[in-house]
Amino acid sequence: MTVTDILSPECMADPVPVWEALRETRPLAFHEGMNAYVISRYEDVERAFKDPAFTSDNYSWQLEPVHGRTILQMDGREHAIHRRLVTPAFRGSELTARFVPVMRRNSRELLDDFRDDGEVDLVDAFTTRYPINVIVDMLGLPKSDHALFHRWYTSIMAFLANLTQDPEVTERGLLTKDELQAYLLPRIAARVADPRDDLLSVLGTAEIDGERMSALEIKAFVSLLLVAGGETTDKALANLMLNLVRDPEQMALVRADRSLIAHALAETLRHSPPVQMIMRQPAEDVRLSGGTVPAGATVVCLIAAANRDPRRYADPDRFDVTRPDLDFAKAFTAAADHTGFALGRHFCVGAMLAKAEVEVAVNALLDAMDDIELAEPPVPQGVFTRAPGSLRLRFRPTLSG
Ligand code: HEM
């Protein structure tokens, strides 16, 4: 029997056949357990992200209990102002001048611990640590608190991915909200009173049309950043390295022309996106392939399935850093055509930052590691976000010290 349940063990083991079955036979599938409609075709997922009839009110129950109210659930003028407040810190010259050196330092420090070893679990030693270290450094928070942040973001991420509403996970998430708030509020107040050269001060003093973010809004945003900028980039890096290690031809292309690292990231976001699904809630009845979704229902947009839709991408299961039907030039802008960063008004505000982080990291990894091969078959985990839980690699060290 064809499995179309996205929470089934079959889907956990290998989601590709489940996405295909959904796309081809049940493009609008009601999921009893989640009380939600699952959509999987590119044109439907694109529409859900771009059509204003689809709100992101779902975040009021999905995330607000742990973060407070964030940009993700805002609409209209409030959303536009918040985007303008935070965007400058995440792109262009601000990003390059201020934060690329932070990325280089963090990637070097992590690499130094294993560069001479000839083998590594890249997830444990690098990918789960690097993005969170970078964001904590960018915020200007102390390195000694990295473990604390790591625990908090793990618990928030579990809350977000708690599709079956496990009460223990809920409780831990709510506790994290209180702990984070107690930690951050005094530090935000200190930066507003006495700004320094860090992201927390930038957020504390940014002003658009005479409006600033309140301390609680900054707290909510920082709490969101820890998850949005941590887990996602972690899994993007792991999936990208796995895609390259598995395919020597693609690896050779990227080694020979490092500008293709950005292509490899874009193609990873299409082929094996770290965020596999995002929810929406239409404010009115909407007609999609396969039927009508009633106003107020929850819609699960299967990013990963849409990105493998053969109606949109030729030979969609193939990982190809030179793919002609993916717009690499626009892959990190709101005009992107893959759905890995969503599309439309909530398109990932950290896309350029993620690109810079991945370029710095992959360049450093490829410089330090030659002849990389898998030491054991990796096991991808998760249906909400997905990446291997460990990535054991063997390699020939190329640089020392
Ligand atoms: C490869 C890594 C990343 C992936 C795959 C990713 C994915 C996403 C996705 C799918 C959304 C849309 C959510 C929705 O519409 O419901 C989003 C939004 C967002 N992302 Fe990212 N993200 C990444 C990196 C980052 C980084 C590094 C940051 C910042 C440090 C960040 C900050 C945000 C924020 C603040 C939003 C909300 C934007 C809004 O609502 O207007 N992300 N991201």
Residue 401 lies in a domain: no
Q: What is the DSSP letter of 272?
A: S
Residue 399 lies in a domain: no
pLDDT in tens, 367-387: 999 999 999 999 999 998 999
Residue 294 lies in a domain: yes
The span from the CA of 244 to the CA of 253, in Å, is 10
Give the CATH number for residue 167: 1.10.630.10
Tell me which residue has its CA closest to atom 1 in ligand 1: 233
The span from the CA of 243 to the CA of 96, in Å, is 27
Residue 75 lies in a domain: yes
* pLDDT in the model for residue 1: 65
User: Coil, strand or helix: which one is 401?
Assistant: coil
Q: What is the DSSP letter of 2?
A: -
Count of structural domains, the chain: 1
Residue 151 lies in a domain: yes
| Other residues' Cβ atoms within 10 Å of the Cβ of residue 315 | 9
Residue 400 lies in a domain: no
Q: Is there an atom of ligand 1 within 6 Å of 132 CB?
A: no
Phi, psi of 315 (to 5 degrees): 45, 60
* pLDDT in the model for residue 358: 97
Beta bridge partners of 287: 292
* pLDDT in the model for residue 255: 97
Q: What is the DSSP letter of 230?
A: T
Q: What is the DSSP letter of 62?
A: H
Tell me which residue has its CA closest to atom 23 in ligand 1: 232
Mutate to test the pocket of ligand 1, among 225, 341, 358, 384 (most ligand atoms within 8 A of CB): 341
Half-sphere exposure of 150 (CA within 13 A, CB side): 14
Q: Is there an atom of ligand 1 within 6 Å of 232 CB?
A: yes
Strand 298-302 with 36-39, pairing: parallel
Mutate to test the pocket of ligand 1, among 99, 106, 348 (most ligand atoms within 8 A of CB): 348
Cβ distance 328 to 355 under 8 Å?
no
Residue 1 lies in a domain: no
**pLDDT string in tens for the chain (401-residue length):** 688 999 999 999 999 999 999 999 999 999 998 899 999 999 999 999 999 999 999 999 888 888 889 999 998 888 988 888 888 778 777 777 788 999 999 999 999 999 999 999 999 999 999 998 898 888 999 878 888 887 887 888 788 777 777 899 989 888 999 999 999 999 999 999 999 988 899 888 888 778 888 899 999 998 888 878 888 999 999 999 999 999 999 999 999 999 999 999 999 999 999 999 999 999 999 999 999 999 999 999 999 999 999 999 999 999 999 999 999 999 999 899 999 999 999 999 999 999 999 999 999 999 999 999 999 999 999 998 999 999 999 999 996 54
Inter-CA distances, 178 with 154, 185, 215, Å: 15, 11, 15
Q: Name the residue range of residue 56's domain.
A: 9-394
The two tokens of residue 336 are: 């992107």
DSSP-derived secondary structure for 130-162: HHHHHHHHHHT--GGGHHHHHHHHHHHHHHHT-
* pLDDT in the model for residue 401: 43
Tell me which residue has its CA closest to atom 21 in ligand 1: 348
- For residue 226, report the distance from its CA to the centre of ligand 1, in Å: 11
Residue 371 lies in a domain: yes
Cβ distance 150 to 130 under 8 Å?
no
Name the percent of the chain in helix, strand, coil, to the closest 5: 55, 15, 30
Q: What is the model's pTM?
A: 0.94
Nearest one of 1, 3, 14 to 276, comparing CA atoms: 14
